[in-house]
C-alpha cells in the first residue's frame, strides 16, 4: 500500500512539474506575443514607419553594430531611403534624416529640456558620473556649470600660449629628432600624445608627459580605441562594464590589457582626487597646484552639493574629459594632416598662408592671430565635416512635451536622434561631399558662416561638447606649428585614404578600416 502511495505521489509530482513547465512556457509565449504586438502596433510611436524587424527587437541593431562592428550608421541611411526622413530604428528610438531639423532637436536650455537616453549612455561604461553621461536635464545643468568657464573661449585663449603651445613645442622637438634620424613618424600616435598631455593637464594638476618620451606612446591611445570598439557591446549588455570593473586588476591585466590601462588610469585619478581633497584639508603634503586651473579643482570649488564632489564623481568626470579630449582632437589633426599632404594645391596654399602670417617659425602667434588665417580656418571646418567628430547618433529626449517633424507627432519621452555623418555628407548642402575642399568655406564671413550651422561634430544645443574651444585651439595650434616648421619637407609614407583615413566604422568615435596602417609621415630637410 505504501509503495503504491509513493508511486502515485511521484506520478503526481511529475504531472505537476509538467503542468508548471507548460504554464511557464505559455506565460512566456503570451508575454512575448504581447510585447511584439505592443512594439509593432500599440506603442505611442507605432505610427512612425520603419522595418518591422527593427521595430520588434534590438537584435537588428546588435547585428550591424556588434557583429559587423559599427555599421548601423550606414544601414540607417538605407532605411531612410526606403521609409522616408523619419523612421524607427529599434523598439523605442526614432531617427530623423533632415539636416534642417537639428536646430529643433538640439536646443538650448531656455527653449526646453533635453534628457539623454539611459540605454545609449551604457556604451561608455560608467553612467551618471560626469556632465557628459548625465541623463537628467536639470542635473546636467548643475554638473555642467563648473565646466563652462573653465572651457570657455576666454580661458582657452588665455592658456593657449602657456599650455597648448608648450605641448606643441615638445611635439615639434620630437618630430625634429625623427627627422634628423631619418625615421618616419606614425602621426596618429604623435597627435594622441599631444592631445592627452594637453587634456590631462587641464583635468588634474599632475598631467601625463608622453611628449617627453623619445618615442610616441601607443598603449594609451590603443586602450581608448579598444574601449571605444566595445562600446556597442557595452550598450547591448549593460552588466559587462561593471563586471569588468569589479574583477581584480591583476585578472583584468591578463584577460583584457586595454581595459586594464583604462581602469588603471581611473585608479590614478582617484588617488589624485584623494590627495587634492587631503591637501585642502591640511592632511597631506601633496604638491601645490601649478597655478593653472584643473577640472578636478573646478568641480571641488563649485557650488554643487558635497554629494557631487565624491572621489568617484570627480575622477569619473576627469576620465570622461581625458577620453573625449584625446581621441576627438587627435583624429581631427590626423585627418587634416593627411588631406593637406595628399592634395598639393591645398598644401601649397596653406604653406603660403602660414609663411605670410608667421614670418619666424620660432615665434608662433597666439590663438587670436591663428584665427585670422582664413585658409587655416577653412581647413579646420572642412576637417570637422570630413571626419565627423562623433559618428554615432546623438539621441535627445524631450520629457514634458511632444515634438513635431513635418506632420508627424513624436510623443514626449521618445528618444530621437540624428547623425552627423548623414548631415555632413548631404550633397544638397555640401556638393561633392567626398572631396576635401577647404575653398567651400570661403569667404568665411558669408559662405563659411552659412555652412557652419550644419556642422554637428561637437553636437548642438545645451548638450554641446564643452571642450569645443579647446579642441579648436589644439588643432589650429598643432597644424600651424607642425606645417610652418616642417611642411615643406613633409610627405606621406604608404598612407592610403580608403584604407587608412576614411571613416568606415562607427564606434561612437570614427574608425578607419581594420586593415589601416594609420597615418605615417616622413620629414625631409
pLDDT in tens, 299-352: 888 889 988 888 888 888 888 888 888 999 999 999 999 999 999 999 999 999
CA dist., res. 482 & res. 238, Å (int): 42
Please report, rounded to a whole number, the percentage of residues in the chain having pLDDT higher than 90: 66
Q: Name the most confidently modeled range: 129-133, 161-165, 420-424.
A: 420-424
Residues 13/18/21/27 CA torsion (nearest 10 deg): -120
Q: Which residue from 177, 479, 434, 477 is spatially nearest to 341, judged by alpha carbons? A: 479
Contact 268, 296 (CB under 8 A): no
β-strand 509-511 against 415-418: which pairing, if any?
unpaired
CA dist., res. 292 & res. 271, Å (int): 20
Least confident of 24-28, 55-59, 471-475: 24-28
pTM recorded for the entire structure? 0.91
Q: What is the pLDDT of residue 14?
A: 67
What secondary structure does DSSP assign to 311-353, as a single string? Answer: HHHHHHHHHHHHHHHHHHHHHHHHHHHHHHHH-HHHHHHHHHH
Banded model confidence at residue 293, pLDDT cuts 50, 70, 90: low
Banded model confidence at residue 241, pLDDT cuts 50, 70, 90: confident
Contact 507, 124 (CB under 8 A): no
Rg (alpha carbons) of the chain, rounded to whole number: 26
pLDDT at 12 over 70: no
Contact 430, 421 (CB under 8 A): no
pLDDT at 116 over 90: yes
Annotate 60-114 with three-state secondary structure. Answer: HHHHHHHHCCCCHHHHHHHHHHHHCCEEECCCCCEEECCHHHHHHHCCCCCCCCC
Q: What is the pLDDT of residue 429?
A: 97
pLDDT in tens, 429-446: 999 999 999 999 999 999
pLDDT in tens, 245-287: 788 888 888 877 767 877 787 787 788 788 877 777 665 454 4
C-alpha distances in angstroms, 80 versus 97, 107, 205, 432?
A: 7, 24, 48, 20
Q: What is the pLDDT of residue 490?
A: 97
Mean pLDDT across the chain: 90
Contact 361, 487 (CB under 8 A): no
pLDDT in tens, 344-369: 999 999 999 999 999 999 888 899 99
The mean pLDDT value for 449-476 works out to: 95
Tell whether the torsion through CA atoms of 171, 177, 178 and 179 is positive or negative. Answer: positive
Is the model more confident about 244 or about 463?
463
Least confident of 237-246, 383-392, 454-463: 237-246
Which three cell numbers, joined as nine digits, stand for 428?
544638397
pLDDT in tens, 150-203: 899 999 999 899 899 999 999 999 999 999 999 999 999 999 999 999 998 888
Give residue 316's Cα distance to chain centre.
15
The mean pLDDT value for 95-114 works out to: 96
Contact 114, 134 (CB under 8 A): no
Please report, rounded to a whole number, the percentage of residues in the chain having pLDDT higher than 70: 94
Q: What is the pLDDT of residue 7?
A: 56
Q: What is the pLDDT of residue 288?
A: 46
pLDDT in tens, 442-452: 999 999 999 99
CA dist., res. 377 & res. 441, Å (int): 9
pLDDT at 497 over 60: yes
Task: Report the b/e string of 18-43 with b at 16+ CB within 10 A.
Answer: eeeeeeeeeeeeeeeeeeeeebeeeb
β-strand 415-418 against 94-96: which pairing, if any?
parallel
Amino acid at each position: 500500500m505504501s509503495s503504491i502511495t509513493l508511486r502515485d505521489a511521484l506520478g503526481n509530482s511529475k504531472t505537476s512539474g509538467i503542468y508548471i513547465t507548460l504554464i511557464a512556457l505559455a506565460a512566456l509565449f503570451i508575454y512575448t506575443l504581447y510585447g511584439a504586438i505592443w512594439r509593432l502596433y500599440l506603442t505611442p510611436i507605432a505610427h512612425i514607419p520603419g522595418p518591422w524587424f527593427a521595430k520588434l527587437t534590438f537584435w537588428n541593431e546588435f547585428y550591424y553594430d556588434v557583429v559587423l562592428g559599427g555599421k548601423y550608421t550606414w544601414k540607417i541611411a538605407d532605411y531612410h531611403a526606403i521609409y522616408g526622413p523619419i523612421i524607427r530604428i529599434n523598439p523605442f528610438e526614432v531617427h530623423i534624416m533632415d539636416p534642417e531639423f537639428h536646430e529643433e532637436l538640439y536646443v538650448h536650455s531656455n527653449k526646453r529640456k533635453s534628457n539623454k537616453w539611459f540605454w545609449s549612455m551604457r556604451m561608455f561604461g560608467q553612467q551618471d558620473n560626469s556632465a557628459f553621461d548625465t541623463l537628467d536635464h536639470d542635473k546636467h545643468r548643475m554638473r555642467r556649470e563648473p565646466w563652462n568657464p573653465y572651457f570657455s573661449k576666454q580661458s582657452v585663449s588665455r592658456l593657449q600660449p602657456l599650455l597648448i603651445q608648450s605641448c606643441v613645442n615638445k611635439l615639434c622637438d620630437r618630430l625634429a629628432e625623427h627627422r634628423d634620424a631619418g625615421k618616419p613618424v606614425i602621426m596618429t600616435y604623435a597627435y594622441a600624445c599631444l592631445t592627452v598631455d594637453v587634456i590631462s593637464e587641464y583635468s588634474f594638476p599632475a598631467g601625463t608627459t608622453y611628449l617627453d618620451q623619445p618615442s610616441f606612446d601607443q598603449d594609451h591611445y590603443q586602450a581608448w580605441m579598444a574601449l571605444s570598439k566595445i562600446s556597442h557591446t557595452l550598450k547591448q549588455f549593460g552588466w559587462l562594464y561593471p563586471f569588468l570593473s569589479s574583477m581584480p586588476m591583476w585578472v583584468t591585466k591578463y584577460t583584457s590589457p586595454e581595459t586594464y590601462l583604462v581602469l588603471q588610469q581611473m585608479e590614478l585619478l582617484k588617488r589624485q582626487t584623494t590627495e587634492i581633497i587631503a591637501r585642502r584639508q591640511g592632511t597631506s603634503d601633496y604638491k601645490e597646484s601649478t597655478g593653472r586651473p584643473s577640472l578636478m579643482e573646478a568641480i571641488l570649488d563649485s557650488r554643487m552639493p558635497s554629494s557631487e564632489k565624491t572621489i568617484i564623481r570627480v575622477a569619473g568626470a576627469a576620465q570622461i574629459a581625458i577620453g573625449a579630449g584625446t581621441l576627438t582632437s587627435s583624429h581631427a589633426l590626423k585627418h587634416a594632416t593627411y588631406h593637406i599632404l595628399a592634395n598639393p594645391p591645398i598644401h601649397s596654399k596653406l604653406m603660403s598662408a602660414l609663411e605670410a602670417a608667421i614670418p619666424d617659425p620660432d615665434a608662433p602667434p597666439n590663438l587670436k592671430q591663428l584665427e585670422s588665417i582664413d585658409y587655416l580656418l577653412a581647413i579646420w571646418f572642412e576637417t570637422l565635416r570630413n571626419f565627423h567628430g562623433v559618428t554615432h547618433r546623438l539621441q535627445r529626449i524631450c520629457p514634458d512635451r511632444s515634438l513635431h517633424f513635418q506632420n508627424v507627432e513624436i510623443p514626449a519621452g521618445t528618444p530621437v536622434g540624428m547623425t552627423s555623418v548623414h548631415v555632413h555628407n548631404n550633397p544638397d548642402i555640401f556638393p561633392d561631399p567626398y572631396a576635401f575642399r577647404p575653398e567651400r568655406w570661403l569667404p568665411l564671413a558669408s559662405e563659411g558662416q552659412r555652412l557652419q550651422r550644419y556642422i554637428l561634430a561637437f553636437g548642438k544645443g545645451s548638450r554641446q561638447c564643452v571642450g569645443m574651444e579647446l579642441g579648436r585651439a589644439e588643432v589650429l595650434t598643432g597644424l600651424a606649428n607642425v606645417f610652418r616648421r616642417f611642411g615643406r619637407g613633409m610627405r606621406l609614407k604608404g598612407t592610403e585614404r580608403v584604407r587608412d583615413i576614411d571613416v568606415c566604422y562607427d564606434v561612437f568615435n570614427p574608425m578607419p578600416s581594420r586593415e589601416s596602417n594609420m597615418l605615417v609621415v616622413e620629414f625631409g630637410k
